[in-house]
Amino acid sequence: MIKRTLFFGNPAYLSTKNEQLVVNFPDDDEKEVTTPIEDLGYVVLEHPQITLTNGVLMKLVQNKTAVITCDKQHLPCSFLQPLVGHSEQTERMRYQLNASIPLKKQLWQQTVVAKIDNQANHFLLREKNALRLKRYAKGVKSGDLGNQEALAAAFYFQNLFAIDGFSRNQKGVAPNNLLNYGYAILRAVTARALVSSGLLPSVGIFHHNKYNAFCLADDVMEPYRPFVDMLVYDIVESGCNIEELNTNIKSELLMIPAMDVVIDGKRSPLMNAMSRTTSSLYECFEGSRRKILYPELNYY
């Protein structure tokens, strides 16, 4: 089932009644909107004048709905997650924490190869030369000791957009703002799936930073980034103003969880594919599987 994403960019009061999310707007006392909580996958809270009851927060978390709040720049900055995301959480975390260094290096190698392959396929989709990216993918060793991931990323972004001097930088020129927003949504999708699979989003297989609570999410989302790039590329090519994240652009980027991707030869919404990816990652930690299941970006 595809879960819905709700975005709140205006003042609102959120409460719950009869397992429904009840939304009231202070500017319109007569307008009340209700939505089944079980249908919700993501709730994005952007406006600072949004009030929520503890009851609605409790029910959203129990439903494993990702509640995402935004900062003054309107970018997602926090993610509310349940303390218990899986019935076997303790055992699953133990497998994750006991994973050997060689296993982590192999899993990171698989992740980097999948990411660069998807970047190359995105190039082919845009009728760009992908031979260099394909070479980078073939050169990835265990643990990516040669840092092929960084080399590929630099080449990829230098040649993706027809914008002179463009480079990937969080504070750089547009469409970096679109990429930042899209990646933040993707990070929340990944963290939600990891928690649902009983894993710790903070303990990565490659990323390790004591100030980062989502190291594993940052690892697992890497092969999914080109799908965000693909959506941003289409927005840029449409000719609309990308200097500012307006409501229309945000609406398109908030469709990321529902994007169609191909995983294991079958088409699936991205949020469902991510759950399969995180489930396969646990199986790798547990020892019943040797390869993480990642989506493939089709270029035909």
Positions at the binding site for Mn(2+): 149, 207, 222
DSSP track, the chain: -PPEEEEE-S-EEEEEETTEEEEEETTEEEEEEEEEGGGEEEEEE-SSSEEE-HHHHHHHHHTT-EEEEE-TTS-EEEEE--S--STTHHHHHHHHHT--HHHHHHHHHHHHHHHHHHHHHHHHHTT---HHHHHHHHT--GGGTT-HHHHHHHHHHHHHSS-TT----TTSSTTHHHHHHHHHHHHHHHHHHHHHTT--TTS-SS---TT-TTHHHHHHTGGGHHHHHHHHHHHHHTT---SS--HHHHHHHTTGGG-EEEETTEEEEHHHHHHHHHHHHHHHHHTS-SS---EE----
The rounded distance, in Å, linking the Cα atoms of 190 and 192 is 5
Residues comprising the binding site? 149, 207, 222
